[in-house]
Amino acid sequence: MNEYLQLMKSELMVILIIFILMFIKLGKGLPNGTLLSLVQLLLLINVAVSFGFNETGRIFNGMFVHNELAGFQKGILSLAVYLISLLCSDWLKDHEHMPEFFMLMLSALLGMFFLVSSDHLLMFYLSLELASIPVAAMANFDLERRKSSEAAMKMVMSSALASGIMLFGISLIYGISGSLDFATIWGSLRNEPLHIMAFVFLFSAFAFKLSVVPFHFWTADVYEGSPVAVTAFLSVASKGAVSFALFNILYKLFPNLSAPWYTLVVVLSILTMLIGNFFALRQDNFLRFLAFSSIAQVGFILVALSGQNSQVISAVTYFVLVYVFSNLAAFGVASVLRSQLGIENISQLKGLYKTSPALAWALALGLFSLAGIPPAAGFFGKLFLLMAGAAKGNYWFITIAALNMIVSLYYYLRIVKLVFSAPDGEQVQEVKILKPVGLGLVICSAGIVLAGIVSWIYDHINSMV
């Protein structure tokens, strides 16, 4: 029993928070402001619980595996959720269904935790569903906006298709090996047509969740329509968790098929970077822009995943950590502007610096880091990804990836330039930065500056692999 408590501490913590929220909702309830602060506090505790004291072990007949690295990854996801709860305070504090929103988000987080820890295909499937269905419900949370419901519908339908394909793949694997346990399956998978087909089906479902081209079509519509908090959650926490899981799939389940999947990952990675960048160049809607830029970022994660060496997972984990800080800084600013001023387009950001320099700096820092400019942490994130990928010796591929960094620089700087240019005509109105939002932006900025310079972080991740 003690072992279960120890290994599942983060999962139990999340369940506990969900129950607390449920009791509050069922009982007299609390004023929204107080409740929000309470949830933020609980989520902070959750971050501490996830990062601290991680033991190694397997429970539930080996279905659930926990170790230091998994603990760290869960910590990153918890951190992302905590930051979202801070940064989206503007929107959350007035929402009549705030407890439900958190219950759904935490359920999805729970799904992600199980996803990171699962070592069994059934568990894998269930946790992936748990991680995505609540998000579809969350996408509908801007109740009066039609686009929000549309986003939810699109998300649910597309996910159902992906899940169906994935189940097909899983059933093929079961047919081949007669088992669903990673440890027994991988030996029986070989480089044969049926096995490859099973792999492609399984992989496509992940590619869908990660918005890898050509499975990315849902992304822009859903990102644009959903509330900013949900978009942030999808693009940071969801992408992070699925990247960790994809590593497990590629390296634990299909190591015998590494030759065919290497080609696939390389080709899709190039496509993803190119398409993501091309679309991002022309977007004017800020959230759609972030959606496409996050597609391009996923392309870089695939670069590392193609590497087939021990550096891959530490590079990916580190990158996701940095990505949490950088992307959430941008989303935080987007959320404040959308809830207070209704700003949705990039062109409306013109002259933001004049009225709210703090927001402008936070946004610029986040974009610099996303563009991978040293010494912002984003540069080291990209560097480690590229180095992990380069170990394979495919230099053309790495050069293409590096050239894509320059293209992305072009559009990230375009926004920085707009933000700092003088407003012509009507100015961006002044915004009020709530305390939690300020705290969130400070954490993000500090993370961007420090995660690169403090070498201890990468060392620490590396030591856990």
Partner 1 sequence: MNPTNILLIPLLPLLSFVLLGLFGKSFFKTKAGLVGCSLMLVSFIIAVVTASSYFFSTGLQNGQYQQLKPFIMPWLKFANGLVIEMGLLIDPLSMIMIFVVTFISLMVHIFSLSYMKGEERFHVYYAFLGLFTFSMLGLVLSSNIFQIYIFWELVGVSSFLLIGFFYQKSSALAAAKKAFIVTRFADLGFLIGILLLSAQAGTLDFLELISKLSTPGDTLTSALATTFMGFSALSWGLALVFMGAAGKSAMFPLHIWLPDAMEGPTPVSALIHAATMVVAGVFLVARLYPVYAFSGAGFVHFIDDIGAFTALFAAIIACTQTDIKRVLAYSTISQIGFMMFALGQVPPETNGAANLGYTASIFHLFTHAIFKALLFLGAGAVIHYVHSNEMKDMGGLRKKMPVTHAMFLLACLAIAGIPPFAGFFSKEEILLAAWENNPTIFWMALVTSGLTAFYMFRLYFSIFWNKEPEGHHHHEKEGDIFLLAPLVILGIGTVVAGFVPFSQLVSADRKPFETELHLQFSIAPVVVGLTGILLASWMYRKHSAVPENLARNMGGFYKAAKNKFYIDELWLGFTKGVLFNLIAKPAAWFDRNIVDGMVKATGSGMEWISYRIRGVQSGKVQQYGLFFLFGIIIIVSVYLFKNVPWR
Q: Is 375 in the site for partner 1 (CB under 8 A)?
A: yes
Contacts of 375 (CB under 8 A, 6+ apart): 449, 452, 453
Torsion angles phi and psi, residue 145, rounded to 5: -95, 130
Q: Is 272 in the site for partner 1 (CB under 8 A)?
A: no
Q: How many residues bind partner 1 (CB under 8 A)?
A: 63
Task: Return the exposure string of 417-452: e unless at least 16 CB atoms fall within 10 Å of the residue's CB, then b.
Answer: ebbbeeeeeeebeebebbebbbbbbebbbebbbebb
Q: Which of 128, 139, 185, 275 binds partner 1 (CB under 8 A)?
A: 275
Q: Is 214 in the site for partner 1 (CB under 8 A)?
A: yes
Which residue number, 19 or 410, has a Cβ lying nearer to partner 1?
A: 410
Helices 456-464 and 311-341 meet at what angle, rounded to 10?
A: 130
Q: Is 140 in the site for partner 1 (CB under 8 A)?
A: no
Q: Which of 184, 399, 427, 429 binds partner 1 (CB under 8 A)?
A: 399
Residue ranges of the alpha helices (H) in 342-394?
A: 352-355, 357-371, 377-390
Least gap, CB of 37 to partner 1 (angstroms): 28
Least gap, CB of 196 to partner 1 (angstroms): 5
Q: Is 196 in the site for partner 1 (CB under 8 A)?
A: yes
Task: Identify the bridge partners of residue 181 per DSSP, sorted by sequence position.
Answer: 120
Footprint on residues 286-345 left by partner 1 (CB under 8 A): 310-311, 314
Token digits of residue 235: 């693009």
Of 213, 201, 141, which Cα lies nearest the Cα of 170?
A: 201
Max CA separation in the chain (angstroms):
68
Please tell me the total number of residues recorded for the chain in this structure.
Answer: 465
Q: Is 413 in the site for partner 1 (CB under 8 A)?
A: yes
Radius of gyration of the chain from its Cα atoms, rounded to whole angstroms: 21
Centre a 10 Å sphere on the Cβ of residue 187 and count the other Cβ atoms it contains.
10
Token digits of residue 173: 């694997």
Footprint on residues 248-267 left by partner 1 (CB under 8 A): 259-260, 264
Q: Is 193 in the site for partner 1 (CB under 8 A)?
A: yes
Q: Is 458 in the site for partner 1 (CB under 8 A)?
A: yes
> Can you give the binding site for partner 1, defined by CB under 8 A?
153-154, 157-158, 161-162, 165, 191-193, 196-197, 200-201, 204, 208, 214-215, 217-218, 220-221, 259-260, 264, 275, 277-279, 281-282, 310-311, 314, 353, 368, 373-375, 379-380, 387, 390, 395, 399, 402-403, 405-407, 409-410, 413-414, 417, 420-422, 455, 458-459, 462, 465
